[in-house]
Structure 1
Amino acid sequence: MTAVVQSTPEMTLATLRAGLDAALESTTARLRAISEGKPLPHFSVPDTSALPSIASIFSLNEGEQELISLAAGCELDPGIAKIVSAVNGSGNPDPWLAVQLLGPQAWDLLCPEAPLRRWRLIELTGSGPLRQRQFRLDERILQALLGNRYLDARLEGLLHRILPVVAPGPAASGMVHSIIEAWCTPGRLPLLLLGGRDQMSKRILAAAAAQELGIQLYRLRAADIPSDWTQRTALALLLDRELALSGAAVLIEADPENTAAAAILVDLLSGPSILSAADPPLPERTPRLRLDLEPPSPAERLDTWRNALGSRAEVFGSELERIATHFNLDPSAIASATAIVENSTGSQETLAPMLWTAARAQGRRALEGLAERIDCRASWEQLVLPAEQIAILQDLAGHLRNAWKVSQSWGWAARSSRGLGAAALFAGPSGTGKTLAAEVLANELSLDLYCIDLSQVISKYIGETEKNLARIFAAAEDGGAILLFDEADALFGKRSEVKDSHDRYANVEVSYLLQKMESYGGLAILTSNQKSALDTAFLRRLRYILNFPFPDAAARAEIWARIFPAETPCEGLNPQALARLNISGGAIRSIALNAAYLAAAVPEPVQMAHIHRAVRREYGKLEKTFTGAEQEAFR
């Protein structure tokens, strides 16, 4: 099949129908001759009919065109159906009637491998001997003969038309011309493999190429491709046929989980098609051309932000550069973010936080579903740590706040993009505030905090752990989110001595993680209960290491004094006495919350008696002995 890529001038519906009527008249004349036993006149199709165009698309000879005209006549013209009924008694065309029209060659034209049935232009119905079966024209083909253009109903819900919404960035403009050149070069159309992580930007550049060529572009998600081979083959046939009839192209978007299914489908297509994936596989279909879309640089993103904001860009000053550097957004996401402030008025102090929040919301799209986002409301006042640890945390916050200045304005990114992020280890016993400190940083910097479930990352299958880590870090780059690998000892322990293949691949996993940590532009936090279990080579790669000590009596008293919100009614609480309880900050929070529920059930203010009951429950849960010295706190 020859796929029509470039658009052609459209004829009016009246002209198309007039041409079809002329073709039907030619068929009618031949049918009358058969019924009257006269010699058959020559079958002819005028140029004004849509039939020659369809014949060109599917490489139909004159006999096949006559069979289509016959089937269309029975559908549209009662007069033709009446004549057919006079010949075969049914009023519908059948193979025996085709033989009378065309001679023995009709059997070849109705073969399942011949164009008419291969492309499902006609369908044989009924059972019994082949000569007694009837054939009907597929409705999509009949409507095409009438000049009606629409998407085949069997593809509705699978194909989605893409319309250009924003112009592609400067980095993608060259790729747009490459697509156009590939599709305009004489010969068999190449399969285009579009690589790169930014799916939306690839969609934008494909839509721009289609718009410049004057053709439609449809999108098909690889997740919607049937797994059954018969259904997949039927989809490929209908899709290929629709591309040719509509003068369209298809963009198949694949995730890492379904790239194999996408590769199988595109092997079955011959029309203009693009396979979009982060790392496209190599289908068997040739010729093929691979194009890789590199992520835009901070300078290119800044230009996109300025173009989207127009004259309002000057209001944001240097804050716009900070936003463009921190959030790796595609042009459509930037357009969505700037729409939030389009009708807002104010100064940089009021508009910049609004634009930051909008960019942050756009940047979290890729990470949703890969990790759990934590709603961070914790403040510095809730964090009770030694002054040295607080100072390190504040330095870490400053690192992230000024990363754009050091990396871009001060030239460090131009030297090397590796190692510009902030990787940190929070080490200490459970409940000492490691996760709380991460929440404080996220809230202070207005960043998203995602907790990574290691049970979903670590895989027993070789190479799967690295793939899972790569997806997480790649998705996090869009929004510059803070990644929290809680209780990370299972993955980040000492690299073992290689005794077998499992040890070797476990070491590969650790080494791969170190590489991703160094290249990640944001903050990745690892929490561990046993710092001594970590390899020294791993520690060298971490920019910040914070030890969270078990709170002493003074720290516990401070935690008790701050643990209840100002809105919680309290009466007769003694933080100094409660400091005798030898427990962590996490256990204190759990006890305080349970005591609040006990008091609310009465209801009455939280008192020492409620805390006493909550302590006993907590100690029972932890299988911890409630010592006599600790019981003195409630006497």
Structure 2
Amino acid sequence: MRALTPIHQALTNYINPQSTEVVKENNSSHNGYINPEYRLERLCNIFGLSDFERSMLLLCAGMELDRSWSDLCAVVMDKESRDYPTFGLAHKVLDNFDWNGVTVDSPLRKWSLLEVGVARALMDAPLRIDEQIFHYILGNHCFNEKLIGIVKEQQTHDIPILVDSHQKIVLEIVTNWKQPSNRSQGIQLYGSEIASKRAIAQAVATNLQLKLYVLSANNIPSDPLELDRFLTMWERETLLGESILLLDCDDINIGDPNREHILKSSIESINSPLLISSTDRISTKQRSIITFEVYKPTSQEQHTIWENILSDQLTEATAAIDDLVSHFNLTAPEIKSAYTRALNADKIAREQKLLINEELTENNKLTKNQESEAQGEKDPLYPSFSLLWNSCRTQAQPKLDELGQRMTLKATWKDLVLNESQLQTLESIAAHIDQRIKVYQKWGFAGKGGRGLGISALFSGTSGTGKTMSAEVLANALNLDLYRIDLSTTVSKYIGETEKNLRRIFDAAEGAGAILLFDEADALFGKRSDVKDARDRYANMEVSYLLQRMEEYQGLAILTTNLRGSIDRAFLRRIRFIIEYRFPDASQRRKIWRRVFPKNTPTKDLDYIKLSRLNVAGSNIRNIALNAAFIAADLGEPVMMKHIKIATKSEYTKIDRTLTDSEIAGWV
């Protein structure tokens, strides 16, 4: 590197002032480097280095490239152990020495281009070129190690799939930032669509040919000195290799005043291109910020994404796409991920089937008919509709699993013992879910807005009368997940927290098309139309927010209550379906008893008419049947009336009721 020659010459001349020997450039130790002179000069221009500061940078770089320089340093300092560059050495050797270049505010130290070691005196402190700066000069740009663990690079090799509305946002940002004077203008992407916001940020970086780095707002240093250091290092990073910083504020607690102050201070201090991702708007006093609200893709946009992915089989896929879009509200990256998951599942299934076929063929056990059967019925869609459906269904499960209990679905229509009116209402609910896209979109009932299109239901009745089982049957029939949300734990005494909890639940559920079962609605609802204090006013706001989200939710939201009378009529009018679950009569209890024992359970001489005299709900009947089965199994006998009698006494004790003689008369 030619720029090192004058520094090497200065060291040699100091050691032997009488020498007339000219130091020759040694290229052997730095062959293959990419135009280091150009990058050195660019570095000096970026940070405004003086001639002295440039010489100091070269002095320390020479130490890394040629170990013989350490011997020269030791001779200059007249001490074998001091074989390293120092400001003191530079003061002796360099004609352009400048005390301004030694101060803490000098570019060398402000930007940490040189690392200053520990010593009693600053002039004696060991100096070392920063590793990133050294590699930069040699043509290898590496990430600043001081930022590792705080910011993370987001790979932007592939341009993500974007819907038209999101592509429009990208175009506006790119157009704005292509003007150099606008590069320091902050851009805020707000809304609950985290995946879509990430995709927009990635597309912006790809279009501008910049690297994208992500900083979680929770990782911003809270110590003022550490924060200042971080901001300086990040600015250095962007000066060396232009980058975009995506500040991820989606998980930050804005209610924390200290954290909020640090966040806003950071936003106003970062001078490089900055994207802010947040759930709500974040306002700042000084920095100019352009805001974009990012919505989920519309149904039509989702339809277009699926059509592009399945473009080679559109004839077969049209009906399937209608169903997928009707039930699952996914972003573009989520649709792509669901499709990839389905492809992988299909590949695994085909490989397993192939192994089985090969094994059977080798054993000469496969006839031609068996061979065609083993191939399975050919689905016109690839991957199959069922695989696509299940991939979409599981897309949002991780987020929902943190907020509610995903229920195991076993109950079917034949397990329900309800009157005709109740069954018809449940069937209507299923039809509303299944035929949404036809009625709302194709037949035009959606109109211009989406308000009031959500499907909501209220199941009221005493415990054990079939409310939860009905929800389970609907989910099973529609092949959707069912999540139980305990409203008693969702409701918070802190103002605003209940709405925040509900928003997280609905936002997570949107993509999965899951059925939400809000248990214990009495914890939130009540006759509060007469506002007596602030708490009543906020309670009404919480109820209104829940009903608003239920009306907007693409899936089915069910409320359960034991006391329908406690819910204000004004709230009831906003719920589409209401089913009253009454205590089962003797005829219904007889049906439940007939169905309660699985077909593999051995029974003997059970009198269902006598059993129906037990004045208990369906859940109690199931508890009694299960306990009786264990008692009989332990005795090595089939389930008989005597076992049920023992189990009944146990159940009555548990529910604090007295078992009358009339109820069990003639059992044994």
TM-score, with length taken from structure 2: 0.85
Q: Give deviations 1:336-367, integer Å, cap 9, x for gaps.
A: 22335556851369933332222222244543
Note closer, same or farther for the CA distance 1:341–1:512 as it changes in structure 2 (3 Å cut).
Answer: closer
Partner of 2:165: 171
Partner of 1:15: none
8 A contact 1:316–1:351 mirrored in 2: no
Measured in 2, the distance between the counterparts of 1:106 and 1:595 equals 95
Q: Which of residues 87, 94, 97 is equivalent to 1:95?
A: 87
Instruction: Please tell me whether the aligned partners of residues 52 and 96 of structure 2 are also in contact (alpha carbons under 8 angstroms).
Output: no
AA in 2 matched with 1:92? Y
Q: How does 1:381-530 map to 2 (within 5 A)?
A: 381-530=414-563
**Cross-structure match for 1:80:** 69
CA contact under 8 A between 2:610 and 2:664: conserved in structure 1?
no
Match of 1:139 in 2: 131
The answer to which of 427-436 and 461-470 deviates more is 461-470
Taking the aligned partners of 2:50 and 2:601, their CA distance within structure 1 comes to 86
Match of 2:189 in 1: 194
1:50 match: secondary structure: helix
| Between 308-317 and 611-620, the greater mean CA deviation after superposition | 611-620
CA displacement 1:270-302 (0-9 Å, x = unmatched):
222211122241245623222222322111111
Letter in 2 for 1:66: S
User: What is aligned with 1:241?
Assistant: 236
SS in 2 for 1:634: coil
Partners in 2 of 1:347 and 1:633 — Cα distance?
60
Aligned mate of 1:203, from 198, 207, 219: 198
* Contact 2:243 2:273 (8 Å CA) reproduced: yes
2:317 aligned with 1:323, yes or no?
Answer: no
CA distance in 2, matches of 1:229, 1:564: 68
Which runs of 5 or more residues in structure 2 are unaligned?
23-34, 255-259, 348-377
Q: Distance in 2 between matches of 1:552 and 1:350?
A: 49
Q: Deviations over 1:155-180 (max 9, x none)?
A: 44541332336332221222222222
The answer on 1:112 being equivalent to 2:112 is no
Given the alignment, which residue of 11, 30, 46 partners 1:57?
46
AA at the equivalent of 1:159:
K
Number of aligned residues: 611
Moved more, 474-483 or 534-543: 474-483
Task: Give the Cα–Cα distance (whole angstroms) in 2 for the partners of residues 442 and 216 of structure 1.
Answer: 44
- Residue 239 of structure 1: how far off its partner (Å): 3.5
CA-atom RMSD, angstroms?
2.8
CA contact (8 A) 2:36 2:138 kept: no
Please give the alpha-carbon distance, in whole angstroms, between the structure 2 residues aligned to 1:38 and 1:634. 123
| Partner amino acid, structure 1, of 2:278 | A
What residue in structure 2 maps to residue 294 of structure 1?
Answer: 295
Query: Following the alignment from structure 2 to structure 1, what is the Cα–Cα distance between the partners of residues 510 and 518?
Result: 16
**CA shift in 2, pair 1:113/1:297, >3 Å:** same
Aligned-pair distance for 1:428? 0.2
Partner of 2:141: 149
Which among 242, 246, 250 is matched to residue 251 of structure 1? 246
Partner of 2:122: 130
Q: 1:366 to 1:611 in 2, by over 3 A?
A: same
Verify the 8 A CA contact 2:485 2:518 in the aligned structure 1: yes
Q: 1:633 to 1:492 in 2, by over 3 A?
A: farther
Q: CA deviation digits over 1:426-469, x for unaligned, max 9?
A: 00001111011011111111112111122442111111111211
* TM-aligned CA deviation for residue 235 of structure 1: 4.0
**Aligned amino acid, residue 371 of structure 1:** G
Read off the aligned partner of 2:180 and give its amino acid letter: P
- Aligned runs of 1:555-566 on 2, under 5 Å? 555-566=588-599
Alignment check: 8 A CA contact 1:222 1:258 kept: no
Equivalent in the alignment of 2:657: 624
In structure 1, the residue matched to 2:277 is 276
Structure 1 residues 237 and 620, CA, compared in 2 at 3 Å: closer, same or farther? Answer: farther
Contact 1:308 1:334 in 2 (8 A): no
User: What residue identity is the alignment partner of 1:305?
Assistant: W
Report the more deviating stretch, 598-607 or 536-545.
598-607
Q: Secondary structure at the match of 1:32?
A: helix
Deviates more, 1:481-490 or 1:153-162: 153-162
Return the letter of the residue paired with 2:304. D
Which residue of 1 is the match for residue 3 of structure 2? Answer: 23
Give, in whole Å, the separation in 2 of the partners of 1:166 and 1:47: 35
Instruction: Please give the per-residue CA displacement for 1:456-488, whole angstroms capped at 9, x wherever unaligned.
Output: 421111111112112222222222221111011
Match of 1:583 in 2: 616
| Distance apart, 1:266 and its partner CA | 3.7
The AA in structure 1 aligned to 2:44 is: A
- CA distance in 2 between counterparts of 1:146 and 1:305 reads 47
Query: Matched residues in 1 for 2:489 and 2:251: separation?
Result: 16
Distance change >3 Å, CA 392–CA 52, structure 1 → 2? same
Is this contact kept in 2: 1:23–1:49, CA < 8 A? no
Q: Contact 1:98 / 1:106 at 8 angstroms: preserved in 2?
A: no
Residue 416 to residue 83, structure 1, CA distance change in 2 (3 Å)? same
Residue 122 (structure 2) pairs with residue 121 (structure 1): no
In 2, the alpha carbon distance for the partners of 1:176 and 1:214 equals: 13
- Please name the residue that 1:333 is paired with: 334
CA distance in 2, matches of 1:546, 1:620: 30
1:143–1:485 Cα change, 3 Å: same
In 2, Cα distance between the equivalents of 1:29 and 1:108? 24
**C-alpha distance in 2 between matches for 1:197 and 1:67:** 50
Instruction: Read off the aligned partner of 2:140 and give its amino acid letter.
Output: N
CA contact (8 A) 2:310 2:317 kept: no
CA separation of 1:34 and 1:296: change in aligned 2, threshold 3 A = same
- 1:332: Cα distance to partner? 1.9
Change over 3 Å in CA distance of 1:129–1:580 after alignment to 2: same
Post-superposition Cα deviations, 1:518-567, rounded to whole Å, max 9, x if no partner, equal 22222111000000000010010011110000111111111111112223
> What's 2:371 paired with?
none
| Cα distance in 1 between the residues matched to 2:163 and 2:272 | 27
Q: How does 1:216-235 map to 2 (within 5 A)?
A: 216-235=211-230
2:155 is the counterpart of 1:162: yes
CA contact 1:573–1:608 (8 Å) conserved in 2? yes
- Identity value in percent: 39
- Contact 2:486/2:520 (8 A) holds in 1: no
Residue aligning to 2:365: none
- Per the alignment, in what secondary structure is the counterpart of residue 115 of structure 2? strand
* Aligned-residue offset at 1:325: 3.2
TM-score (norm 1): 0.89
**Quick check: 316-325 or 415-424, which moved more?**
316-325
Where does residue 14 of structure 1 map in the other structure? none
**Uncovered stretches (5+) of structure 1, i.e. residues with no partner:** 1-20
1:603 and 1:52 map into 2 onto residues whose CA distance is 92
Higher alpha-carbon deviation: 230-239 or 378-387? 230-239
Please say if residues 322 and 405 of structure 1, whose CA atoms lie closer than 8 Å, have aligned partners that are also in contact.
Answer: no
Structure-1 separation of matches of 2:45 and 2:412: 71
Contact 2:4-2:59 at 8 Å conserved across structures: yes
Answer with 417-426 or 473-482: which moved more.
473-482
Tell me by how many angstroms 1:202 deviates: 2.0
Structure-1 separation of matches of 2:94 and 2:185: 37
- 2:59 and 2:97 mapped to 1: Cα distance? 16
Contact 1:200 1:332 (C-alpha < 8 Å) held by counterparts: yes
